[in-house]
Structure 1
Amino acid sequence: MPIACLSVRLGAVKSWPEPQLPRLTSTGKVPTVFDTSTRSPRRLRGSEQTARLYVCGITPYDATHLGHAATYVAFDLLNRIWRDAGLEVVYGQNTTDVDDPLLERADATGVDWRELASSQIQLFREDMEALRVIPPSSFIGVVESVDEIAAGVRDLVDKGAAYTLDNGDVYYRVSTQINPPFGTVSHDDRETMAALSAARGGDPETPGKDNPIDPLLWRAEREGEPSWDGGALGRGRPGWHVECTVIADKYLGFPVDVQGGGNDLIFPHHEMSAAHAAAWRDTPMAKTYMHTGMVGLDGEKMSKSKGNLVLVSKLRERGVDPMAIRTVILSNHYRSDWSFTEEQLSIAEARLQAWKHAAKCESECRQGLREHIIGLLREALTDDLDSPRALGILDEWAEHYADSEPSETAALSGDRVADAVDALLGIRLLD
């Protein structure tokens, strides 16, 4: 079924319910993380007791795989640690609900692209809720933001930072003088940039461009594709990178404290989004850039294009406890590349059962010891979100109760370790 040539307007994208987090009586510290841009540790203090986080969302043409989940769980960890330090977190996330891969999948399967996007966004919400990921305060679709994105592109044209080809396509000019300079996020050389651009959605072979790596800002209307009125730009639809720039500016404001995503977004996506922000608003897009590693299956990178996906929804359909899925993810450091195996899942399920048993026996644990364990968890997580170390601390805690029987003793005074595990790691141990 061909995609009809449409002028379309969809409703606002909706987020998912927020998990109920235990309130701890003590307060933690802000984390120190690795900043991709400076290639060094950075302490994330936030501004005036508020921390602003923007994480790039999915293109909803397929369900949530473990690579997606690992990224959103990692930044959920950051969200929780910030909150534990007493900061208010303003979290924005987009969803690219109109883009070439989505339209191509819709055309290939004979499903209306809007229905495909809607169904996959809903499945993503269900997966995130099951994994107890705190939802963004602003969960924004591209389709609902077209007017603002078009206005941003027009501004870039007016500033001389963008130009229009004969076919009406509008491109950003990477030679634009900006501060911080282009290349600051990735530190890649131009040869590497050209290769990555070709591999990750760019079009370096397009004739007429000032520079092969100049990215698309506005795609002029094509027959059979959805389009919108872009004013002076003509009819068309947004390019990929500029959507995040505009959405982050509108809902969070520049500079955000952290811009996050998988490390395959460093170039071109985050480099280009940062360049657009600097050229458009004369300000950095973000103070800190954080990136997660790639997740593989049996040693090969997991991706939609390769089809070697482990889907969160399919694991849940098998009856796998979402907390075991979250445990698998957190057993790997967020910046590391890792590969999923069934053995990893079995180990995670066994660890989870041991922690749950310990949580039921916890009443016999002295308050001073509980405070010590919670302190060790905080120490690990504020050190570049070291979740593997935190899970190792839980293993030692659980070993103490391996031969104990669950207690019927009344609730403890002070914070329980189980409450801290829930609040900090997002792993619920008690029903």
Structure 2
Amino acid sequence: MTLTLYNTLTRRKETFTPLQEGKVKMYYCGVTVYDYCHLGHARACIVWDVVRRYLQWRGYEVKYIQNFTDIDDKILNRAREEGSTMQAVAERYIQAYFEDMDRLNIKRADAYPRATHTLDGIKRLVYELEQKGYAYPADGDVYYAVRQFNTYGKLSGRKLEDLQAGKSDRVNVEDPEYQKKKDPFDFALWKGAKAGEPAWESPWGAGRPGWHIECSAMVRDNLGETIDIHAGGADLIFPHHENEIAQSEAVTGKPLANYWMHNGMVTVDGEKMSKSLGNFITIRELLDRPTDPMAVRLFVLTAQYRKPIDFTDEAIAAATNGWHTLKEGLLFGYQYGKQLGFEEQGSALIPEVVQRFEEEVDDDFNFPGGLAVLFELAKELRREGNVLVHQGKTETPPEQLKQQWHTLVTLAQVLGFEAEPEVETIVDGISDTEIENRIQQRLIAKKAKNFAEADRIRNELQNQGITLIDQPGGVTRWHRN
């Protein structure tokens, strides 16, 4: 089986061949830390988390880097509103980011470089661009000369002449920044210091870096001049990723990334998410409703990662129901393993199921196809669980059930789905021993024809989430709801 992925740069699916056999260098353009993360961030972070997990599952050693943009006008504006500092705002929302992503079971990256920690690399890159004739200083600023880079637009497919036609009516010629540029398409690599804003010394005077140069420098500092996969949201293709390519490749003469991958956007009830429309939903707001984090992960992964996805109440309800099905399968061994005589883990995987799962996901990270394989296993285990509850035994050999369960648990973890027994229901509720004692008391009451007492015990257990099933021969089975 061969892993293929859609490369935004070539606009086609390609066989994945890493630069170094068995190893993958992957960079994801992370968040600008001026607010809580929203549904769009949730989708992107879940998608690239699972891409990384799957690459590791397929045997690759993945070095995964995700940046934080901690210098930005939005951060400065938030700091002014709060009477705070850029650093304080960034630190608060970086901490909030980790809290939200931990709840979504997103694995930590290998490193989280920040723009403020990469200033030497940024200044070095700007200097090299200037030396090679791709950048020019202008009254404290430094700009990238877009027309010097002959292949500008190769990622987005946009041509400068087409952009020129649509831009003329949007340009403010009175803007001081516009007047400094030699060409309207040139963009800032370094911004001269402004009153009241943080600034760092540089060969061009005090100032701060532009947004695009930050990622070029962080990729180079952490992963080298060429990487395997550069990932991000589709909204970053132009101008951010296009500008990254222009900056990095002008200096190195090498491809910045061999594969460019982009996830689709999230809409809410068919409309673009925005605060002005009142449909702006943060991750913590959604999870605090409450919504199960695994249902959010399932909602994201049921859609093809490159396509838009629409968040609705109905969609999240369907995902929640789907998660309940998957969760039942994942909990099967915990609930019935003792009864069936097998340990919680430690069984061979079912080769045919693993092969089907890999065949699906190998096709451009087809997570919906992989999920379909998981749901088949989960539904089979749920059926077997119902048989065990009502009949006390099953015709399926325990070793086969153990293998099915272990396969489900293992493949679910590849997609980031995990479920464990809710210990608190046993600790805070009624123990197995107490349940058995109450069933014995009920049996004694029935033999004494004290049916009112027997019904009282049944109802009492029912209120505590315990269902009794009377079977022929005076046997009573039970299960937790």
Structure 1 counterpart of 2:186 = 214
Retained in 2: the 8 A contact 1:263–1:291? Answer: yes
How far apart are residue 126 of structure 1 and its match? 1.4
- In 1, Cα distance between equivalents of 2:168 and 2:15: 31
Retained in 2: the 8 A contact 1:418–1:429? Answer: no
How far apart are residue 424 of structure 1 and its match? 1.7
Structure 2 counterpart of 1:394 = 374
Structure 1 counterpart of 2:416 = 426
5+ residue gaps, structure 2: 422-481
Structure 1 counterpart of 2:145 = 173
| Pick aligned residue for 1:333 from 283, 296, 304 | 304
1:148-189 per-position Cα deviation (integer Å, ceiling 9, x unaligned) = 211211111111110112x311111112246xx221111112
**Alignment partner of 2:180: what SS?**
coil
**Taking structure 1 as reference, are residues 266 and 303 closer, same or farther at Cα in structure 2, changes over 3 Å only?**
farther
Map 1:227-266 onto structure 2 (within 5 A): 227-230=199-202, 232-266=203-237
TM-score of the aligned structures, taking structure 2 as reference length: 0.76
**Taking structure 1 as reference, are residues 234 and 285 closer, same or farther at Cα in structure 2, changes over 3 Å only?**
same
| Pick aligned residue for 2:126 from 123, 136, 153 | 153
Structure 2 counterpart of 1:185 = 155
**Alignment partner of 2:385: what SS?**
coil
1:199-250 per-position Cα deviation (integer Å, ceiling 9, x unaligned) = 9xxx9971231221211100001111110011x1211000011110011011
- In 2, Cα distance between equivalents of 1:253 and 1:77: 23
- In 1, Cα distance between equivalents of 2:51 and 2:169: 32
**Alignment partner of 2:321: what SS?**
helix
Structure 2 counterpart of 1:19 = none
How far apart are residue 413 of structure 1 and its match? 5.6
Structure 1 counterpart of 2:103 = 130
1:362-405 per-position Cα deviation (integer Å, ceiling 9, x unaligned) = 6789x899433332222221111111222233333333234332
| Pick aligned residue for 2:355 from 375, 378, 381 | 375
Map 1:6-17 onto structure 2 (within 5 A): none
How far apart are residue 198 of structure 1 and its match? 11
Aligned length: 395
1:103 aligns to 2:76 (yes or no):
yes
1:257-285 per-position Cα deviation (integer Å, ceiling 9, x unaligned) = 01110111101000100110111111111
How far apart are residue 196 of structure 1 and its match? 8.6
Output the aligned Cα RMSD.
2.8
1 or 2, which has the higher helix percentage?
2
- In 1, Cα distance between equivalents of 2:177 and 2:72: 19
**Taking structure 1 as reference, are residues 153 and 45 closer, same or farther at Cα in structure 2, changes over 3 Å only?**
same
Map 1:103-122 onto structure 2 (within 5 A): 103-122=76-95
- In 2, Cα distance between equivalents of 1:245 and 1:193: 23
User: 2:129 is matched by which residue type in structure 1?
Assistant: L
**Taking structure 1 as reference, are residues 244 and 388 closer, same or farther at Cα in structure 2, changes over 3 Å only?**
same
Structure 2 counterpart of 1:41 = 13
**Alignment partner of 1:427: what SS?**
coil
Identity of aligned residues (%): 34
Retained in 1: the 8 A contact 2:332–2:405? Answer: no
Structure 1 counterpart of 2:325 = 354
Retained in 2: the 8 A contact 1:198–1:204? Answer: no
**Taking structure 1 as reference, are residues 163 and 355 closer, same or farther at Cα in structure 2, changes over 3 Å only?**
same
Retained in 2: the 8 A contact 1:197–1:204? Answer: no
- In 1, Cα distance between equivalents of 2:153 and 2:275: 28
Q: Which moved more, 1:111-120 or 1:220-229?
A: 111-120
1:282-340 per-position Cα deviation (integer Å, ceiling 9, x unaligned) = 11110011011110111112256866322111122223221111111111111011111
How far apart are residue 192 of structure 1 and its match? 5.4
1:81 aligns to 2:54 (yes or no):
yes
Retained in 1: the 8 A contact 2:330–2:409? Answer: no
Map 1:271-282 onto structure 2 (within 5 A): 271-282=242-253
5+ residue gaps, structure 1: 1-28
User: 1:381 is matched by which residue type in structure 2?
Assistant: V
Retained in 1: the 8 A contact 2:374–2:412? Answer: no
1:302 aligns to 2:292 (yes or no):
no
**Taking structure 1 as reference, are residues 193 and 288 closer, same or farther at Cα in structure 2, changes over 3 Å only?**
farther
1:32 aligns to 2:4 (yes or no):
yes
How far apart are residue 49 of structure 1 and its match? 1.1
Structure 1 counterpart of 2:464 = none
Greater relative contact order, per chain length (Cα 8 Å cut-off, separation 6+):
1
- In 2, Cα distance between equivalents of 1:191 and 1:61: 35
